[in-house]
Amino acid sequence: MGFLEVEAVSHQYAGTDAQVLNEVSLTIQENEFFTLLGPSGCGKTTMLRILAGFEVPSRGRVTLDGQDILRIPPWRRPVNTVFQSYALFPHLTILRNVTFGLKMRGVAKADRHGAARRALDLVRLDGFADRMPSDLSGGQQQRVALARALACQPRLLLLDEPLSALDYKLRKEMQGELKRIQRETGTSFVFVTHDQEEALAMSDRIAVMRQGTLEQVGNPSDIYDRPSSDFVAEFIGDSNLLNAAPDSQGRLCLPGGRALGIRGDAPARVMIRPEALRIAPDGNLSGQVTDLVYSGAATRFLVALDGGEETVQIQQTSTEAAGISMGDKVCLAYDPQQLWVVAP
């Protein structure tokens, strides 16, 4: 049994027939950074609200350390939430913002001030206690919201897309900070995001959701390298999905007849990531460059393969890509071990 068990949870909002969650079951371990990942409307935030106690599921069970928490009101659960908007009180100092939850729980003033200062030190804002939220940057405000949640020492911390309002550079910085804080506190984090790169960079495990159901649960390398479906392969990063069919020798081949180097006994979808392909004179495939995008360290190409309708993406370092132009004929090489047959 895991630290947090979600058992066959389904949910639909009153007055609607739409099933927001459909028989979702999850096991989350203690001291785990677990991410709910999926597009808008997939049910990930609804699941987070059920864990927090803001929603009661239509069916199912949720236990924390073996205790059914669906009957426990939000303020009595050993759970805290960091919201996307931070929800800081603009008229309170940073210290009073962080002590607010402790005060509501009846913690003595000296104890709550000590806990708040320890939490601010954890998020590296120990010198900001007397400032106002308006004096802080977006990233600093996000840290204050995190400190406020951690000051109460929750067993489980829920994070609802807390980095989405930050610019790219600050978001990357905060990814590392959140992972550091999770490791140092030993608190289980459940993180909600639609950003695949964010999920891969931070998570111990990821649950990919689609239309209220779980598509796949696994560690980042499982999700990226061994997707369970077309949806996961296309949603997580960039992918090339090729239609292949077996020949008389049991080799999977492209429509033009070119063997891919793997075996199969039925038509299949075969995935290969853009970075696993490379332009080389002795390549397995050939085609014509139809588009290219330079992005600094890397250049991304679209190549229409010969003998069929397939077009693939390739990512090369810009040094390797030097001298290749639109319309050029190229050969593509790959390691067959980097191909993955995806369930339809």
- Asked whether the beta carbons of 285 and 329 are under 8 A apart, the reply is no
Distance between CA atoms of 121 and 91, rounded to whole angstroms? 22
Q: Is 238 in a helix, a strand, or coil?
A: coil
User: Above 70 in pLDDT, residue 249?
Assistant: yes
Question: Which domains, ranges and CATH numbers included, belong to the chain?
Answer: 4-228 (3.40.50.300), 238-342 (2.40.50.100)
pLDDT tens column, 281-330:
888 888 999 999 988 888 899 999 987 768 899 988 878 778 888 999 99
Q: Which pLDDT belongs to residue 48? A: 96
CA 193 from chain centre, in angstroms, equals 5
Say what the alpha-carbon torsion angle 113, 114, 116, 117 is, to the nearest 10 degrees: 110
How would residue 30 be classed by pLDDT, with cut points 50, 70 and 90?
very high
Task: Report pTM.
Answer: 0.90
- Asked whether the beta carbons of 36 and 194 are under 8 A apart, the reply is no
In our burial notation (b when 16+ CB lie closer than 10 A, e otherwise), range 43-63 reads bbbbbbbbbbbebebeebebb
Q: Which pLDDT belongs to residue 19? A: 87
Distance between CA atoms of 23 and 72, rounded to whole angstroms? 22
In the chain, the largest separation of any two C-alpha atoms, in whole Å, equals 79
Q: Which pLDDT belongs to residue 344? A: 59
Alpha helices in the chain (DSSP H): 44-52, 94-104, 109-122, 138-151, 168-185, 196-202, 220-225, 230-235, 318-321
Distance between CA atoms of 232 and 262, rounded to whole angstroms? 21
Q: How many CB atoms lie within 10 A of CB 132?
A: 16
Say what the alpha-carbon torsion angle 185, 187, 193, 198 is, to the nearest 10 degrees: 40
How would residue 222 be classed by pLDDT, with cut points 50, 70 and 90?
very high
How would residue 93 be classed by pLDDT, with cut points 50, 70 and 90?
very high
pLDDT tens column, 149-201:
999 999 999 999 988 878 888 888 889 989 999 999 999 999 999 999 999 99
Distance between CA atoms of 22 and 191, rounded to whole angstroms? 20
Distance between CA atoms of 28 and 5, rounded to whole angstroms? 6
Distance between CA atoms of 323 and 275, rounded to whole angstroms? 19
Distance between CA atoms of 216 and 139, rounded to whole angstroms? 32
Distance between CA atoms of 268 and 252, rounded to whole angstroms? 8
